[in-house]
Amino acid sequence: MTIPFKANLDGKVAVVTGGGGVLGAYFSKALAESGAKVAILDLHQEPADKVAAEINEAGGKAVGIAANVLDKESLEAARAIVEKELGTCDILLNGAGGNNPKGTTDDEYYNAEAVKNNPELKTFFDLDPKSVGFVFDLNFLGSLLPSQVFGKGMTEKKGCNIINVSSMNAYTPLTKIPAYSGAKAAISNFTQWLAVYMSKTGVRVNAIAPGFLVTKQNEKLLLNEDGSYTARAQKIINSTPMERYGQPEELVGAILFLADEKAASFISGVVLPIDGGFSSYAGV
């Protein structure tokens, strides 16, 4: 991949959770191209190894590690491997997260008549508590626990930072996805809280809030077979002043900027929107 600029990350050790995913792979490769040694943590070994291999083949230094961000023992085992293979962590990028269909409604607005006509319609009142809890755990605990496991060692070094991944949903929740929106709002709040908590140690804590991207994971929800936008996708475009969707690589510049100690040395507690103006637009 081609990065927009090269940050000064030589000698740094970066840990990326969810590093085997679509966005995690972009983040991992960008950090490696800027000189960091990268540990790609993923729930499954195969995707972590794949990204690590691509980085190593390109001349970087990376290792793939299977780890569960909801299991502290698993994360501590991963930390031991990271420290053995690469050294102690300087940059933690909490990229693991996601949604669950059982935490999502079928309807945008509740309509009792529609429910009578379609008993199978999943409304807010039908959401599965365990699935809602899973979404909160994956996004919130999935950032909190790695921050505990890798963050403590950061307090003993200089020039370290943590980057979380929030979302536009944290600013204004989208219809249908209450669990995901609430979980990402928690991430933004946690980012600010942890920034203050870590402030006396020199560890900076920030987050990015991506807007709407078209990736292989969501293209079927946003695009019709002929390539045109679905009705929901068109609503998003209508609320985005730049009138387009973002690309995963357009998140990279913000990650590198926040990770670079010289570039962002006095920035902490910030949640940076990368959204084509979505969060600034009131619709009129």
Axis crossing angle, helix 45-57 with helix 22-33, rounded to the nearest 10? 30
| Amino acid of residue 121 | L
CA distance 165 to 256: 14
Known catalytic membership, residue 245: no
**The tokens of 34 are what?**
């800027």
Whether 78 and 62 have beta carbons less than 8 Å apart is answered as no
| Contacting residues for 70 by C-beta, under 8 A, at least 6 apart | 137, 138, 141, 142, 145
Determine which one of 109, 110, 171, 180 is catalytic. 180
The CA angle 8-206-197, to the nearest 5 degrees, is: 115
Whether 102 and 127 have beta carbons less than 8 Å apart is answered as yes
- Report which secondary-structure segment, H or E, holds 49: helix 45-57
Spatial CA neighbour of 168 closest among 28, 16, 271, 283: 271
In the block, which residue shows the tokens 């529609």? 114
Task: List active site positions.
Answer: 180
